[in-house]
Structure 1
């Protein structure tokens, strides 16, 4: 059973270590760069927004609802698997191995979207592939996030985490530009591909799969594999859930604010994920965006998000992750609320980009908040709990998004569901005691 010290008093054993080399930091960030093909191209701006939720699949309202329910199911699967996956990688010392295996599965599922033909009968198949991709992407992310503790210390964790998020956003820009100019914009794209039979978007899936594989290789070469913990006996898969339950109970007794953060972040991170999942869908279905508009907005949005993530790293190390998260959530609520009452492209450009500015900092600082709490040797388990608590409620935002559409009768009212989730996460975060950071942690250590 993991012994978690109180969050406010914890001094990471890794604080005395030197941070990773520049080459290791870049290699680690390259995974985020490659993951943008799944997040930005497949699930946010191109495949789902312009293809899978289009008229060929039964119309925006119907297809969006099916996709939302599929995503909610994937969240439940992640909730069941992620903590045990992280725990077992800590025990076995195979963090890098499982990062590679799960990333490869994501790439295969992404490539399989090539077989989603433009007909309503393929809607469920496409939604299932995207949802399954999310499952394995999140499980890979457990090990990827834990690696952050291998290449950072108390003074640099915020900056390095922000750099990784920024790399993801910038990778999204490059991938989107390639897709747009090679496949979407020309009547006849690269290799003679045309829009007939949905081939333009199906080819995007193949490109995304190759992009994911190519940029996952550096981290597997540059970051050393973790060592197994000889003090921990190997246990079976189902027995791992018993150990996990005991860990959570003990965590509640010895470090309750860590548990409180896991709960609050689970909720607001679900709202952040929903912004990415349904943002472009709303732009097309409710604010009059066309294909070219979505691509241009995606590029601008990723630039703004990258700036936000990089700045978050500086403020995180200086003021702590909680201050960054609270500020970001307030900004998201104000921007999302404005979109409920405004119409047209200009409104979405202004407040959609504002949303992008605040999403990156909230994501990056949530990761560093958890990283500052993770005891050495237990990073995977704690980040597994982080992923699990996030996905234990990941049905919430998609379900509320879908139900809001059903209740109010129009796609744009799905925004209400997202805002409710963000507001609830913020309310639960306010009383959580923040972990010490930077110079503050040194002072507490000396005391």
Structure 2
């Protein structure tokens, strides 16, 4: 077999590695401007009947998408391993994501009829982007040496946050802040918020092109698609039956089920919570996202260096504990109070941006979140890459995606249920903190392979 098809790490040059890392740049705007800072808060605040109902709806869509991803990721990963090449899968699921993202343009304010189609578009976009990430991640072990996996993974995450940052600048400077937005978009109809779906779709389709051209892929095995499906499913069944031989991987995947669920919920609901609590609009949320991304970019590059120096496991644990601390800080903020009881003035209409004491405290904890988001996720990707047998990379990254999604539908579901039951957004943070702490504790059972 060729070096590429065997998955040895001499396959990619600098351009190939950079193009692979650019995939994170390509997909990040979907997460940044759609599911976190712009469209999600817009949907919960203006499309749904109330912020609490909107948060519940959003939680249910993420629960459905998470369940589908959890079930199907290992299956697709195993099939891709059997078939060899990963790029065709990446392109296919990128197109699926783009279709879902484009449909969000029709999420008009106060929408009563057709809201199920918008929710379906959110689910479609989310499963498309997540499945494409499974196959791109599976290419990582073949691109560089084990001792430099952390830096390449962290570099990719850092590029991703830079891409998200630029997307936020485009939304703010092109659509939100100007009195007359680009393309004549209507502010009363919230078209600057709705354009984030089509914008992220086009961005994704354009910026995966370098990876498709320059990053080396595993050679196709030559077997038919039907045979690849049968062989892949058989290999997955064998791996699941022999998981006792991969106990260390199992411990890690179980730990990640919890802490990654908490991370995704924290990312997804922090902007929603701020929009409901402080009545932030697109401008405030966009600037908030830009500031967080500056910290996230720094965290990714520092975390990538620490990953290779200290190891992936310490980097994960430190980052998850930092995020748990930040979630407690956010939980401590309510209407007119911070730090569980200290009085703090809320923003007033016409006041300076982020000038109220309550907003200032929230921003401090948000910056801590930004610093630790990237390292926790990049080091997790590095750790599973170091644990994966070369001929099972897709399968193991499919299981990795399962570990990130098997319980990922639980947190949004719990958040949706708790929010519906209490009529408040704040209790969601208790769910998030609990998941982060359980995940950090379970990491004590994980042994990291030597990569020196």
Which has the higher mean CA deviation after the structures are superposed, 339-348 or 39-48? 339-348
CA contact (8 A) 1:91 1:232 kept: no
Shift of 1:311: 0.8
Q: CA, structure 1 residues 29+233, in 2 after alignment: closer, same or farther (shift >3 Å)?
A: closer
Which has the higher mean CA deviation after the structures are superposed, 410-419 or 289-298? 289-298
Which has the higher mean CA deviation after the structures are superposed, 285-294 or 302-311? 285-294
Which has the higher mean CA deviation after the structures are superposed, 255-264 or 167-176? 255-264
Q: Paired residue for 1:38?
A: 30
Output the CA distance in 2 between the equivalents of 1:14 and 1:141.
18
| Aligned partner of residue 180 in structure 2, secondary structure | coil
Q: Paired residue for 1:390?
A: 404
Q: Paired residue for 1:415?
A: 429
Q: Which of 131, 137, 140 is equivalent to 2:123?
A: 131
Matched, 1:100 2:91: yes
Output the CA distance in 2 between the equivalents of 1:293 and 1:164.
27
Shift of 1:221: 0.4
Q: Paired residue for 2:344?
A: none
Shift of 1:165: 0.3
Could you report, residue by residue, the CA deviation over 1:42-94 in whole angstroms, capped at 9, with x for unpaired residues? 11111111x21113421110011011011101111111211111111111122
Shift of 1:151: 1.5
Could you report, residue by residue, the CA deviation over 1:390-440 in whole angstroms, capped at 9, with x for unpaired residues? 211111211222233244431122111111111121122222222222x2x
Q: Paired residue for 2:297?
A: 306
Shift of 1:112: 1.6
Output the CA distance in 2 between the equivalents of 1:160 and 1:327.
20
Q: Paired residue for 1:7?
A: none
What TM-score do you get using the length of structure 1 for normalisation? 0.90
Q: Which of 44, 50, 63 is equivalent to 2:54?
A: 63
Output the CA distance in 1 between the equivalents of 2:70 and 2:388.
19
Q: CA, structure 1 residues 267+238, in 2 after alignment: closer, same or farther (shift >3 Å)?
A: farther
Q: CA, structure 1 residues 20+242, in 2 after alignment: closer, same or farther (shift >3 Å)?
A: closer
Output the CA distance in 1 between the equivalents of 2:428 and 2:267.
13
Output the CA distance in 1 between the equivalents of 2:40 and 2:276.
12
What TM-score do you get using the length of structure 2 for normalisation? 0.89
Output the CA distance in 1 between the equivalents of 2:326 and 2:267.
14
Output the CA distance in 1 between the equivalents of 2:164 and 2:204.
11
Q: CA, structure 1 residues 391+238, in 2 after alignment: closer, same or farther (shift >3 Å)?
A: farther
Q: Which of 346, 354, 375 is equivalent to 1:361?
A: 375
Shift of 1:201: 2.2
Matched, 1:221 2:213: yes
Q: Paired residue for 2:416?
A: 402
Show structure 1 runs of 5+ residues with no match: 1-12, 440-447
Q: Paired residue for 1:347?
A: 361
Q: Paired residue for 1:162?
A: 154
Q: Which of 156, 160, 171 is equivalent to 1:179?
A: 171
| Aligned partner of residue 366 in structure 1, secondary structure | helix
Q: Paired residue for 2:239?
A: 247
Output the CA distance in 2 between the equivalents of 1:29 and 1:315.
18
CA contact (8 A) 1:57 1:122 kept: no
Shift of 1:372: 0.2
Q: Paired residue for 1:88?
A: 79
Show structure 2 runs of 5+ residues with no match: 1-5, 339-357
Greater fraction of residues in helix: 1
Output the CA distance in 1 between the equivalents of 2:68 and 2:74.
11
Q: Which of 254, 264, 271 is equivalent to 2:262?
A: 271
Output the CA distance in 2 between the equivalents of 1:107 and 1:230.
29
